[in-house]
Structure 1
Amino acid sequence: MDKLTSNPMICGKTPFAVTGCPFTRVTPGSRSLERGLAILRAFRHGGSALTNADLAERVGLPRPTISRLTHSLVDSGFLMFDPELRAYRLAPVLLNLALAYQEGLIEYQIALPYMQAVAKREEINVGLAAPDLCDMVYLASVRYGRGGVLRHIVPGSRRPMETLSLGLCYLNALDESSLARLLQYILPKYPGTKDAVLFRIERARQDLNMLGYCVADWHAGMIAIATTLKTPGEAIYALNISFSSSDELWAKDRIVHYGSVLIKLAEAINEAWQNYQKECPQ
């Protein structure tokens, strides 16, 4: 199991979007609260119930500490204890919080109709994602693609930034110092292949500068291309299109076509965000 890390969150500077925006305070934070939230982060889409031992391995805290924190999280209604498995599950309140987040995210509300129209017209998959620690989290996934390998991507799905086009374009949208801070947490996961990861990021940078999007093999038979979106407050999101392809020559033609589709979609969403900001300034 991967151990969670408390690396910095990086995004824009103003409250048009608050996806991980830095928070400045003069009083110290609560270490216990941070540890409790780290336990909640340990639960991932597609996973099962987690024991104290599982959580200790994922979070990197001693089992006695985990035991005290899970007890508090059960008492406060954020976790449920399964006596048969002697393990914990997330409580329904987390689903309520996720719904409240989604309904309050104006970027999502504005972008979704544009994404749905393009996905249906082109019979492709369109995704919108935001950064969380070293991962990209899907905010929306509109799937009209036919054929290829079935991928169960839904809102809330997360993938490591360095493994997909969404994350590669996000990393290249950061300033040098922010990118360096994230790489401090990403590269140690690849002790023997750090150069390969850095090459992927650099190649994506070149594609973005030349084409406006970057390309990545999402899975066998699937190709994904992505570009970045910035709100008027300069918070960074990533937008992608994915499609099935088993023929290399056909894939090259499709990448050019869908690259144009992606750029036009990004421009339409950015314009809609800007119009909203003008009509409803915060």
Structure 2
Amino acid sequence: MIQSVERAALILKALGSGTPRLGVTEIAERVGLAKPTVHGLLRTLAACELVVQDSDTGKYALGPAVLQLGNAYLDGSELRARSLLWADSLAQRVNEAVWVATLSGTRVIVLHHVFRPDDVVQILEVGAAIPWHACALGHAIAAHDPRREELLSDDLPPLTGLTRTTRPALEEALAEVRRRGYAVEDQEAALGDAGVAAPVFGRDGTPAGAVGVVGPAERLLDPARRDAITLAVRETARALSRDLGAPRSISPHPASPGGSAA
């Protein structure tokens, strides 16, 4: 591993961790490097437009080249490309918003977002990063991910008073995902919001990501609708897994868009 590249990557990850702008001292503390080293790396990253410096505060933020790279990643994502029709069909079927996501480190990254098909004002969440342990999408992926032990060993802070953070609670949740084929989130990432998601598998039989329905908890978790929503999510995930070339043993009964599994 080339040390300078690794250090530059750590700096970019620190700047993308949620705090919009960071000073050299703050970055140095977060990545565990000396300030002169961080300053030199920042100057190089700035020359490549991967970071920008605020002229008033002297603090650094991610630069426009990062957006260009992110868009290129989305354009090249097979999961996202294969999910476009399936996600739209799912949104129409359950009349809710749909997210398709993948796991990056300890966070779920939203690759595709289909708005709820009505006239309500909605915000596009493509690129949003959510701690895996606080959302149904994350649980759906982690339940089958080869790095499950590593994910469970991390420090997992609560996002709300309902976020499951202890290892026993999360192990039980992931075991439940493996038993029933889908994950349910009840106000764990944000109060009032819920999610239902199922894993999407790739050619190698490991999770490529997950597809899920997101929306108000009182609507998604309504007993009168919950069975229909979970069935639709599972069928969509199986169909998308088939399109990605997942082994039949993992995705045995793919569905057709808007239809039922065989």
Aligned equivalents of 1:140, 1:213: Cα separation in 2: 19
**What displacement does 1:200 show?**
3.2
2:176 counterpart residue number: 207
2:197 is matched by which residue type in structure 1? A
Go from structure 1 to structure 2 and tell me whether the alpha carbon gap of 1:132 and 1:209 turns closer, same or farther (over 3 Å shift). closer
Aligned equivalents of 2:119, 2:26: Cα separation in 1: 37
1:278 counterpart residue number: none
RMSD across aligned C-alpha pairs, in angstroms? Answer: 3.0
Aligned equivalents of 1:196, 1:84: Cα separation in 2: 39
Go from structure 1 to structure 2 and tell me whether the alpha carbon gap of 1:145 and 1:204 turns closer, same or farther (over 3 Å shift). farther
Q: Does 1:232 pair with 2:210?
A: no
Q: Does 1:40 pair with 2:12?
A: yes
1:84 counterpart residue number: 56
Alignment of 1:203-282 (within 5 A): 203-218=172-187, 219-236=190-207, 237-246=209-218, 251-274=222-245
- Give deviations 1:178-200, integer Å, cap 9, x for gaps: 3222333235x58xxxx952233
User: Larger relative CO (CA 8 A, sep 6+): 1 or 2?
Assistant: 1
1:106 counterpart residue number: 78
Structure 1, unaligned runs of 5 or more: 1-28, 276-282
Alignment of 1:1-282 (within 5 A): 29-44=1-16, 47-144=19-116, 154-175=125-146, 178-186=147-155, 196-218=165-187, 219-236=190-207, 237-246=209-218, 251-274=222-245
**What displacement does 1:235 show?**
4.3
Go from structure 1 to structure 2 and tell me whether the alpha carbon gap of 1:151 and 1:70 turns closer, same or farther (over 3 Å shift). farther
Q: Is the 8 A contact 2:115 2:122 kept in 1?
A: no
Go from structure 1 to structure 2 and tell me whether the alpha carbon gap of 1:46 and 1:33 turns closer, same or farther (over 3 Å shift). closer
1:6 counterpart residue number: none
- Secondary structure of residue in 2 paired with 1:241: strand
1:106 is matched by which residue type in structure 2? E
Q: Is the 8 A contact 2:28 2:35 kept in 1?
A: yes
Structure 2, unaligned runs of 5 or more: 159-163, 247-262
- Greater mean alpha carbon deviation, residues 110-119 or residues 47-56: 47-56
TM-score by length of 1: 0.74
2:5 is matched by which residue type in structure 1? L
2:241 is matched by which residue type in structure 1? N
- Secondary structure of residue in 1 paired with 2:166: helix
Go from structure 1 to structure 2 and tell me whether the alpha carbon gap of 1:260 and 1:241 turns closer, same or farther (over 3 Å shift). same
Aligned equivalents of 1:225, 1:242: Cα separation in 2: 7
Q: Is the 8 A contact 1:141 1:153 kept in 2?
A: yes
Q: Is the 8 A contact 2:93 2:232 kept in 1?
A: no
Aligned equivalents of 1:153, 1:85: Cα separation in 2: 30
Aligned equivalents of 1:76, 1:209: Cα separation in 2: 44
Q: Is the 8 A contact 2:144 2:178 kept in 1?
A: no
- Secondary structure of residue in 1 paired with 2:154: helix
